[in-house]
């Protein structure tokens, strides 16, 4: 006797479940198309400083007792910061606030046409220092923790190396590239043999978001189609659909980049590998990782398709800090910090590390 004949009740239950899910997919598929995009970035905050593409937010406290040292998050320049604040209960920012931290964020909006001349020094020697000074003034504390995500981590690292006496007390980096030789597909994409960055920037000014988005999409060309299949398979699951829509919205919300900043990123980091080689200069100042002596925590993802492990590994190796640690966790470039698993894999570990260094 086969298993199906032996267990008719189990087979019937399986059929019932599949029928219900098929009906739910059909109904919710229509709802998915007709409904507005889900709200994101819902944690209350105040815009305390703005200068074109640059925005500094201060989040409202959610705990009665607050750690002394505030946290300043520096978001990647190509993406919006709400990926760290997607929804109540699954927001990294909310977690920090409820854990007792005073949280600020540098977030970006599309650069204006007249901002096409923004350079690295505008980000690392103007926007971040101005933000640190604002945080110090508002909090009444000189010491600040800087937390950079991806290219925000690169900018934070450059700031830490070039401003050792401005009050930085801890440096936290998420998935931050240092050795750009190992940014393999980006290296192929920007190969000077076929990529004329000068012609691009001189012609269009700010680099369009679509070009940046296509560059990321090339890393996983089948991911969009696979994602749609996965969405349909799980259309009956409200929690999955909500999460998918929020991450999809964020992924599609790629930002243009200031033209000169993009040119410098291509030449100084991708082609010359200046941050790793120690040849990078910003505003005439040499940038050396060995000049970083504050406590450093780097978070890397095992399955990061954007910043491969070999690209981020040298950060901890090169800084001169005696207090330096690295967490290599399961997950991808985004999910390691913002996905559902980050709530158990990363957030408690980060809280423990910060708590010891924030009093």
Residues of the chain with pLDDT under 70: 1-40, 215-252
CA terminus-to-terminus distance, the chain: 69
Residue at 314 is within a domain: yes
Tokens 């994101």 -> residue? 40
- Which position among 85, 150, 163, 298 bears the catalytic label? 150
pLDDT tens for 112-162 read: 999 999 999 999 999 999 999 999 999 999 999 999 999 999 999 999 999
The pLDDT of residue 232? 47
Residue at 54 is within a domain: yes
Task: Give, in order, the Cα–Cα distances in Å from 294 to each of 48, 101, 141, 149, 342.
Answer: 27, 19, 17, 18, 25
Q: pTM value?
A: 0.82
- Which position among 58, 163, 182, 333 bears the catalytic label? 333
Q: Looking at 101-237, list the stretches that DSSP marks H as alpha helix, in order from N- to C-terminal side.
A: 120-122, 128-139, 151-162, 184-189, 197-204, 209-219, 223-233
81-111 in b/e form (b: 16+ CB < 10 A) is bbbbbbbeebbbbbbbbebbbbbbbbbbebb
Domain count, the chain: 1
The pLDDT of residue 244? 54
Which tokens is 146 given?
């800087």
Q: Give the residue numbers spanning the domain of 183.
A: 45-93+100-208+256-356
Provide the percentage of residues in the chain whose pLDDT is more than 90: 63
List strands edge to edge, sheet with 324-329: 45-51, 54-59, 103-108, 71-74, 144-149, 168-174, 296-301, 324-329
Residue at 332 is within a domain: yes
Residue at 63 is within a domain: yes
Residue at 197 is within a domain: yes
The pLDDT of residue 236? 47
Active site (annotated) includes residue 150: yes
Domain of residue 317, CATH code: 3.40.50.1820
- Which position among 85, 102, 107, 304 bears the catalytic label? 304
């Amino acid at each position: 006797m086969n298993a199906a004949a032996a267990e008719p009740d189990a087979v019937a239950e399986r059929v019932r479940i599949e029928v219900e899910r098929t009906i739910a997919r059909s109904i919710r598929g229509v709802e998915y198309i007709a409904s507005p995009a889900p709200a994101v970035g819902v944690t209350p905050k105040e815009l305390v400083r703005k200068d074109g593409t640059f925005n500094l937010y201060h989040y409202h406290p959610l705990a009665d007792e607050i750690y002394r040292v505030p946290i300043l998050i520096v978001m990647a320049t190509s993406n919006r910061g709400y990926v760290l604040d997607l929804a109540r209960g699954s927001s990294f920012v909310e977690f920090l606030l409820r854990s007792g931290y005073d949280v600020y964020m540098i977030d970006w909006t599309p650069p204006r046409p007249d901002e096409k001349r923004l350079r690295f020094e505008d980000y690392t020697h103007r926007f971040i220092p101005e933000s640190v000074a604002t945080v110090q003034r508002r909090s009444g504390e000189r010491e600040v923790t800087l937390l950079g995500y991806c290219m925000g981590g690169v900018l934070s690292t450059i700031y830490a190396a070039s401003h050792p006496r401005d009050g930085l007390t801890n440096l936290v980096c998420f998935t931050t590239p240092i050795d750009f030789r190992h940014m393999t597909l980006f290296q192929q994409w920007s190969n000077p043999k076929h990529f004329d960055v000068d012609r691009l920037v001189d012609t269009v000014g700010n680099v369009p978001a679509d070009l940046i988005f296509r560059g990321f999409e090339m890393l996983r060309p089948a991911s969009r189609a696979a994602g749609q299949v996965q969405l349909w398979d799980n259309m009956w699951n409200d929690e999955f659909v909500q999460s998918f829509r929020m991450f999809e919205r964020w992924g599609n919300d790629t930002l243009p980049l200031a033209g000169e900043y993009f040119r410098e990123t291509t030449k100084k980091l991708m082609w010359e590998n200046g941050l790793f080689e120690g040849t990078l200069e910003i505003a005439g100042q040499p940038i050396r990782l060995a000049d970083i002596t504050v406590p450093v925590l780097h978070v890397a993802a095992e399955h990061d398709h954007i910043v491969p492990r070999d690209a981020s590994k040298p950060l901890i190796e090169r800084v001169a800090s005696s207090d330096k640690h690295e967490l290599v966790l399961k997950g991808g470039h985004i999910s390691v910090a913002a996905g559902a698993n980050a709530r158990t894999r990363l957030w408690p570990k980060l809280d423990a590390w910060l708590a010891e260094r924030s009093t």
